Amino acid sequence: MPSSHLTSTKSVAGIGRFPRCLQHPEEELKFFCDTHDTACCMACTVLLHNQHNQCTVVYIPDVAKDYKTGPEYLQLTGELNKTQQLAVKHVTDIEEKMKKVEQLKTEEKTKLEKYRTEITQFVNKRIDELTSKVEQLRDQDMVLLKDKLTKTKKITSTVATNKTKLQACEQTPIALFTESKHTRNVVAQLQVDLADIAAKTKYQVYSVRKDAQTEEVLKNKAALATIELKTGQDMTSTRCLIFLFRFCSVS
């Protein structure tokens, strides 16, 4: 009987003390009912364990003296040893699984860090390519515009020079007439040049267009990778994490 249910009393030579019955404190638990697998006192035996002679009740001192060498005790100690060995095996098994859990975490975190590096390198490379393209377009436009700016400033200077010449000839009619004829030809050519400059003074209009597939990935909280629990419902299974990577490209 569990110690919480028994109270010891006087000792019996060779077998120890009788505990007292909790139901009948004045009585000692001297008997054992095999039918109910419990110790009982004389009162319990009469009142509960001997109705219609259905219970098998034995006197504990008679069976206790040789119990240690009997088959039941030998079987019990054998089962205890077997249970202990099984428990030790389970301890070893659980500790091994704990190591595998830690190892699995480390391996999968390493995969994620490698994946992070791959994604970062890909994004950085693509952004650098696009940035280089933007700078290339800017350089092309600036070369053209600088050329047209230089030509336009030269025309402005030519116009100013010709105006000065005409003003200097205003008091001399013959000289003014001659210079005006020459200036008309110059102005006509300058106007042609300006029209050509106006037609060719253009720049490329562009803007960064985000990739639609990448935008969808960024909106998806489960994008890039998922963690799928494959096994692990029982103690003999090993939990595996399968990472499903979905790569995206920027065009």
Predicted confidence (pLDDT) per residue in 73-84, tens digit = 999 999 999 999
Q: Which of 65, 82, 99 is the last residue of a domain?
A: 65
61 and 107 in a single domain? The answer is no
User: Is 161 domain-assigned?
Assistant: yes
**Half-sphere exposure (CA, 13 Å, Cβ side) for 129?**
8
CB within 8 Å of 123: residues ≥ 6 apart: 250
223 and 99 in a single domain? The answer is yes
119 and 237 in a single domain? The answer is yes
Closest CA to 186 of 216, 214, 163: 163
pTM value is 0.58
User: Is 71 domain-assigned?
Assistant: no
Q: Residue 39 pLDDT > 90, yes or no?
A: yes
123 and 47 in a single domain? The answer is no
Closest CA to 97 of 250, 244, 234: 234
Query: Domain range spanning residue 28?
Result: 3-65
Amino acid letter at 99?
A: K
234 and 111 in a single domain? The answer is yes
Q: Which of 32, 65, 98 is the last residue of a domain?
A: 65
Closest CA to 105 of 240, 212, 4: 240
User: Is 251 domain-assigned?
Assistant: no
Q: Report how many helices (DSSP H) and strands (DSSP E) the chain contains, helices first.
A: 5, 7
Exposed (0-12), middle (13-18) or buried (19+): which is 144, by Cβ within 10 Å?
middle
Q: What are the pLDDT digits (tens) for 132-174?
A: 999 999 999 999 999 999 999 999 999 999 999 999 999 999 9
Kindly report the CATH number assigned to the domain that includes residue 12. 3.30.160.60
Q: What are the pLDDT digits (tens) for 1-24?
A: 443 344 444 455 455 688 999 999
- Average pLDDT of every residue of the chain: 85
171 and 220 in a single domain? The answer is yes
Residues forming beta bridges with residue 58, ordered by sequence position: 32
The DSSP line for 152-202 is HHHHHHHHHHHHHHHHHTTT-HHHHHHHHHHHHHHHHHHHHHHHHHHHH--
CB within 8 Å of 244: residues ≥ 6 apart: 225, 226, 228
CB within 8 Å of 220: residues ≥ 6 apart: none
59 and 152 in a single domain? The answer is no
131 and 44 in a single domain? The answer is no
User: What total of structural domains would you count in the chain?
Assistant: 2
User: Is 85 domain-assigned?
Assistant: no
- Dihedral angle over CA of 118, 121, 126, 132, nearest 10: -170
Taking the C-alpha atoms of residue 102 and residue 88, their distance in angstroms, rounded to an integer, is 21
21 and 114 in a single domain? The answer is no
Residues forming beta bridges with residue 242, ordered by sequence position: 228
pLDDT confidence bin for 51, thresholds 50/70/90:
low
24 and 126 in a single domain? The answer is no
Q: What are the pLDDT digits (tens) for 170-208?
A: 999 999 999 999 999 999 999 999 999 999 999 999 999
User: Is 60 domain-assigned?
Assistant: yes
104 and 46 in a single domain? The answer is no
User: Is 146 domain-assigned?
Assistant: yes
153 and 186 in a single domain? The answer is yes
User: Is 77 domain-assigned?
Assistant: no
User: Is 30 domain-assigned?
Assistant: yes
